[in-house]
Structure 1
Amino acid sequence: MPSQQKRKNQAKILRQFRAVHRAMGAVLFVFFFIISVSGLLLGVKKNSGDVLLPKTQTGTTSDLGRWLPLSELKEKAITVLRDSISPELSQELDRIDVRNEKGIVKFIFANHYYGIQLDGATGAVLSIGKRRSDVIENIHDGSIIDSYLGTGGYVKLIYTLIMSIALLLFTITGFWLWYGPKRMRKSRS
């Protein structure tokens, strides 16, 4: 009789896990779809043929002693942005990516996702391109909503916590939905 009660308890737990798994799946389906598609795109961004991310170019030298000052390169990048793309775009930089091994400096602008690659030594323009992967990354981690609402990172934090906990619960309940019946069959023998 104790074995019969044990099986009933296992079956009850299995039903509860299935209900949690199903409810979370229904509620969070759209979010998991967005995360999976954006994650897939981010995984292939460097192999997208410049569609998602401009290829990193190569400059004339990796010798930093022969490079122009960073402030001069920054001014050159802002001039290129204004003259070659649009004078109306924000000149605010998101980051400066120095690739000394490649001999280049990437200037990535905030708000409009343009990137300009300059030769570190000559200041020559090597690439002007839209960094679509940055938009995809902002969608992937929820920061695009933060930017739109101006919440200072709180939406991204809450989104990340909810989705991380949900994925953990999916993993646990999914494992139990796979393992539980095996365990019940084994205890029947």
Structure 2
Amino acid sequence: MDRKKHASILRVTRSIHRKTGIILFVAFFAVAVTGLMLGWKKNVDILQHPTAKGASNDVSKWLPMDSLIAISNQELIARSGDDISLILSKVDARPDKGIVKVIYENHYNSVQLDAVTGEVLSYEYRTSDLVEHLHEGTIVDNYFGLPNGIFKLFYTSIMGLALITFTITGFWLWYGPKVMRKEI
């Protein structure tokens, strides 16, 4: 390939790299910041409360799951009011810790309970879940009630393709001039 052709490819590559960067700057910044936060979530109590320890890890002594969920619902209502959604996202049982985390679907609150006594060990606003939803775009689907995570799919596809584009164009912006110098 001649020098003129290499220079032309380099100009096009630089243009693609620059325009894509300008368009996606805010999204890349948000993904980078939230990704960093998610990487640190287990080490920073602001993002995720530590998992408490219950009275016993002997599952045979645990209260029935429906009782634990009822206790969690009462705690949630007491702290947030009668109009809060009680729809469950998941119940995270931790036999090794002797606790159950009750996590709700339509908001970022959760309750940790001692699985034997039903004592509320922690009530938390799950900041890490909010950060995760910001990171992957789910927050837009939830806010607008979009079906099947359509925005998340679009957003993650665009961000993934953009990262591939930046990797390829960035490599060529580094390597292309080396090839041109060798041709002299």
TM-score bracket relative to the smaller structure: over 0.9
Report SS of the residue matched to 1:80: helix
Q: How does 1:1-189 map to 2 (within 5 A)?
A: 6-48=2-44, 50-152=45-147, 153-188=149-184
Name which of structure 1's ranges 81-90 and 33-42 shifts more when overlaid on structure 2: 81-90
* Greater alpha carbon shift after TM alignment, 79-88 vs 26-35: 79-88
Supply the distance in 1 between the matched residues of 2:110 and 2:165 (Cα, whole angstroms).
39
**Structure 1: which amino acid aligns with 2:33?**
V
Q: Distance in 1 between matches of 2:94 and 2:179?
A: 54
Equivalent position amino acid for 1:181 in 2:
P
Task: For residue 53 of structure 1, report the CA deviation from its aligned partner.
Answer: 1.3
The runs of at least 4 aligned residues of structure 1 exceeding 4 Å deviation read none
Instruction: Give the alignment's TM-score, normalised by structure 2.
Output: 0.94
TM-score (normalised: structure 1): 0.92
The separation in 1 between residues aligned to 2:79 and 2:34, in whole angstroms, is 30
Q: Which amino acid in 1 is paired with 2:3?
A: R
Post-superposition offset of 1:110: 2.0
User: Secondary structure at the residue paired with 1:107?
Assistant: strand
What is the alpha-carbon distance in structure 2 between the residues aligned to residue 17 and residue 114 of structure 1? 47
1:30 Cα shift?
0.8
Amino acid at match of 2:66: S
Per-residue CA deviation, residues 102-125 of structure 1 (Å, 9 max, x unaligned), is 111111112220110001122111
Taking only aligned residues, the RMSD between alpha carbons, in angstroms, comes to: 1.3
Residue type of the alignment partner of 1:174: G
SS at match of 1:44: helix
Per-residue CA shift, 1:105-152, capped at 9, x if unaligned?
111112220110001122111101111111111111111111111111
Identity %: 49
Distance 1:15 1:167 in 2: 19
The runs of 5 or more residues in structure 2 that have no matched partner are: none
Separation of aligned partners in 1, 2:183 and 2:62: 72
Structure 1, unmatched stretches of 5+, are none
Question: Aligned partners of 1:108 and 1:32: how far apart in 2?
Answer: 29
Distance in 2 (alpha carbons) for counterparts of 1:66 and 1:183: 71
Q: Give the Cα separation in 2 of the matches to 1:51 and 1:88.
A: 26
